[in-house]
Amino acid sequence: MEENFEKIVLAGGCFWCTEAVFQRIEGVEEVISGYTGGNIKNPAYREICTGRTGHAEAIQITYNPTQVSLETLLEVFFATHDPTTLNRQGNDIGTQYRSAVFYANDIQKQKAADFIELLTKNRVFDKPIVTKLEPLTVFYEAEEDHQNYYNENKEQSYCQFIIAPKVEKIKKYYSEKLKTT
């Protein structure tokens, strides 16, 4: 990857959902599903699902800041999950489904804090935003069968009923920010 690319790690519930959304954004070079923010090394999906490891299902986004800004990525992130529910997204409940921005540096932390403040000030959501800003420590890549999940499993009911509406939402509201290929 080129040296001018940047990375951000976001957790917005199920990583299959967030991965599918961000794979479609222009300027995003790579999206990897994985785990971060927990207390054991090299966790596996079966351990994450218990909610006892402290990890969140998250995605690591590698992006070109000359094509897409961190602010745009944050806007899409907050528009495609519910940042007002603590440790929950829809029927997925547990700390592994928390809403969080795992920042790698002070600039990312400040931009995320400023964006949350803007959303709060403008009363974009009916309830308070509970998205946590957490320092990124280690990001563990999820198992291979969790990578590119939606694109390879569109016929599954979870993909059709949970992920497809999120993809349709970005097509509707963010069409100018989508990849053309």
108 inside domain: yes
Position 146: which residue type? H
150 inside domain: yes
What's the total number of domains in the chain?
A: 1
pTM reported for the whole predicted model? 0.95
pLDDT at position 149 over 80: yes
pLDDT at position 72 over 80: yes
| Closest by CA position to 8, among listed 109, 116, 97, 99 | 109
Q: Which residues span the domain enclosing 101? A: 6-177
76 inside domain: yes
141 inside domain: yes
CATH of the domain at 81: 3.30.1060.10
> In 10 A of CB 179, how many CB atoms?
10
pLDDT for 42 equals 94
Backbone angle region of 62, left / alpha / beta, with phi > 0 → left and psi within -120 to 50 → alpha: beta
Is 3 or 55 the better-scoring residue by pLDDT? 55
Average pLDDT of span 95-104: 97
**Contact call for residues 22 and 148 (beta carbons, < 8 A):** no
Known catalytic residues? 14
pLDDT at position 2 over 70: no
1 inside domain: no
**Contact call for residues 101 and 113 (beta carbons, < 8 A):** no
